Every structure is written in structure tokens, then in C-alpha cells.
Structure 1
Amino acid sequence: MAAMVEKTLRPPVMWAQRKDSLYVTFKLQDVKDESISLTATTLSFAGTSNNKSYAVEMDLFKEVDPESSTWKVLPRSIQMHIMKKEEDEDPEEGWARLLKDKALQKSFVSIDWDKWQDEDDDDPAAFDTSALDGGMNFGGAGGMPGMGGGMPGMGGGMPGMGGGMPGMG
């Protein structure tokens, strides 16, 4: 009987950017035997997750600074903070994509919207989420200006309607 050859898969990758850096995440759980190599122009990864082998070598869109970049292996992912070699002069420009090869990028790289920040957004460190009280509770927000709590002249319900449905009083 012929031996089965284990297929090496490409890991799912997510990315986001700031004007001076990139956030790259390999979305794999409990990675073992990981090997990560970052040069000025390439990012290579290999490892196993759930008894499957993953590997990829990516040619980056522009150059990065490997010496200033960091990464950490977490239980649910590998997260990298990669410093760009040159800070984007125009924040509107940035990197058009993570990889040089547009077709390759479309096959396994997606945008990490949780980490994405438009350059015209406020500093995320300055945004205090503790005031949100754990969810979508907008109590005390005051509503939209000029709305006055309802439509003018509608304070008591619709005239002639008797104040509601019969028996609901």
C-alpha cells in the first residue's frame, strides 16, 4: 500500500496597517513547531495546527524593518507587528495590499477590520471604551438633536384614537 503524502496547506492570514506598521495574523489554533522568518521583503511561516501542516512564503508589497518587528504565538493565532521600512508620507495612500502578487493575496489574505484604522480616525488609545457600559446601551445619549422626544403635536398619541387599543389601558 502506498504511503499517504501529507498536503501542506496555506494558513489563513489577516492584515491591517497604520502609517508606520502592519498587523499580520495567522489564524491558526494551538500552533506547534512554528518557524517564522521575516526579511526586508519576505515573510515565511511554517507550523502545524490540529495535525495539519501549514506553510507559506510571501513577497511583501514594500520593504519592512525586520529588526524592529515583533510577533507572539497565542493559543488562537500568531500575531505580528511589522514595522514598515518607510513611514507612509500620505496616510491616504498606505500599502495597496500586503503582498506583491495581487492574485495570491486574494486566495488566502483578508483584511482584519478589528485592527484596521483609517488615518483620519482618532487615536484608538484615547478612546475610552469603559463608558460604553458593556454593550449597545445608549441611555443618556440624548437622542438626535432637534428630535425633542417625538414628532411635534404627537404628545398624547393620535387625536381621535382613544389613547391606544381597547383593553390595553
Structure 2
Amino acid sequence: MSRHPEVKWAEREDKVFLTVMLPDAKNPKVNLGPEGTFTFSATGGAGDLEYELKLDLCDKVNVEESKINYGLRSIFCVLVKEQKKWWNKLLKEGKPPHYVKVDWDKWADEDDDTSAAEPDLGGMDFSKFGDMGGMGGMGGMGGMEGMGGMEGLMGGMGGMGGMGGPEEFEDDSDDDELEASKPEAAKTDDKPAAAEKTEAA
């Protein structure tokens, strides 16, 4: 028996963001039809359980312009609407099931400035839905090349630039020794005072 993964969604006037929350998904297969049919299947979790999902979206979508990103914890989709208009709901009919939730991190209202509210999608390697071929939806991952090679990966780590060479570490260790010796000096100052008292007695 298959299970349903948790799905988060948010929209803009021209697109819908759909995130399927399934860490370490194996053999994910994602399909998007122009009429707005979104299907997903994969195995994941302890015991490699089967997960399936079918959503009849509120309106038509542009399959060729829509994009997908396969991450370690989720599958993130940008579904481009056929017509620029607010749907105000995800599904064509009925109330959304319990596993479909609003993604408040990406949500924007109609009166919000959509350019300011656009989520940060930097660093994601997207492939188009129309170009997935027979790879079970994995065709657009691109490996290390999609991240600009090792240089691109290391360049995005931030905050690591100031580590420097061995000289810096030697300087740091000298500072630690000086700091550690300060309390010992304070203790030695107390000892002579105590010695003087015993001599005077």
C-alpha cells in the first residue's frame, strides 16, 4: 500500500511553487500534464516504503516552462501557469487533503509586491519537465558541473576565507597561552602574601 508524502504549496500570479517533502527519495518520477495533472511516485523512508501522489491542479500549466529540482530532502517544482491569474486554491475540486499544506515561507498575497516576495532559489539546479526523458525524472541533476565544479562549491561556503595558513594558527595558539597564564600569575601574587603572614606570625 502506498503512502502520500507531505506537500507544501505557494503561488504567485504567474506560477505555483510545489514542494514534495520526502528525504532521500529513491527513483522519483514526476509528471506534469498541460491540463494541470501533477503525479509523483518514489520510494523512501525506513523500509523503502512506496509513496504516490496525484493532484488535479486548479488550472492549466505550461509544461515546457515549468521546472523541477531534486534535492536530498525534497523535490521542488516551479509550475508556470498557462494564464497569469491568481488561483487562490491549489486543487480544481474539493478541499485539499491533510498532507497538502500552505508553504508560508514562500507565500505572497495578491496585493504584495511579487518581485520583493520572490523566494531565493539561488544555487538550485533546475531541469525542465519536458526534458526529463526516460531517467525517471533524474535527467536534470547535472552533478557537480551544475554547481560550477568544486570551485563553485567551495566558493559558496562563505566565512571560510579568513582561515589563512599555518602562521595564523600559530599566532592564535600563542594568544591562548598568554590568556591561560594570566590566572596563574594572579595565583602566584596571592601566595607570597600568604607566606609573609606566616613569617610574621
TMscore range, shorter length: 0.5 to 0.7
User: Following TM superposition, by how much is the alpha carbon of 1:107 offset from its aligned partner in structure 2, in angstroms?
Assistant: 2.6
Instruction: Tell me the C-alpha RMSD between the 2 structures.
Output: 1.8
Q: Percent identity?
A: 35
Work out the CA distance in 1 between the residues paired with 2:17 and 2:102.
Answer: 10
Question: 1:163 corresponds to which residue?
Answer: none
Which of 31, 38, 62 aligns to 1:65? It is 62
Paired positions, count = 115
User: Following TM superposition, by how much is the alpha carbon of 1:119 offset from its aligned partner in structure 2, in angstroms?
Assistant: 3.2
Question: 2:21 corresponds to which residue?
Answer: 27
SS at match of 2:42: strand
Which of 39, 42, 46 aligns to 2:37? It is 42
Question: 1:147 corresponds to which residue?
Answer: none
Work out the CA distance in 2 between the residues paired with 1:27 and 1:78.
Answer: 7
Work out the CA distance in 1 between the residues paired with 2:70 and 2:52.
Answer: 15
Work out the CA distance in 1 between the residues paired with 2:91 and 2:112.
Answer: 25
Residue identity in the other structure for 1:13: V
User: Following TM superposition, by how much is the alpha carbon of 1:97 offset from its aligned partner in structure 2, in angstroms?
Assistant: 1.3
- TM-score of the superposed pair, with normalisation by structure 2: 0.54
User: Following TM superposition, by how much is the alpha carbon of 1:58 offset from its aligned partner in structure 2, in angstroms?
Assistant: 1.3
- TM-score of the superposed pair, with normalisation by structure 1: 0.63
Structure 1 residue 112 and structure 2 residue 112: aligned?
A: no
SS at match of 1:102: coil
SS at match of 1:107: coil
Unaligned runs of 5+ in 2: 119-201
Cα distance change, pair 34–80 in 1 and its aligned pair in 2 (3 A):
same
Map 1:1-169 onto structure 2 (within 5 A). 7-40=1-34, 41-50=36-45, 51-88=48-85, 94-103=86-95, 105-122=96-113, 123-124=115-116
Question: 1:155 corresponds to which residue?
Answer: none
SS at match of 1:8: coil
Work out the CA distance in 2 between the residues paired with 1:119 and 1:101.
Answer: 21
Deviations 1:82-128 (A, max 9, x none): 0000001xxxxx1131112323x1332110000011233233279xx
Work out the CA distance in 1 between the residues paired with 2:106 and 2:31.
Answer: 23
SS at match of 1:44: strand
Deviations 1:125-152 (A, max 9, x none): 79xxxxxxxxxxxxxxxxxxxxxxxxxx
Work out the CA distance in 1 between the residues paired with 2:82 and 2:57.
Answer: 12
Higher Cα Rg, which structure: 2
Unaligned runs of 5+ in 1: 1-6, 89-93, 127-169
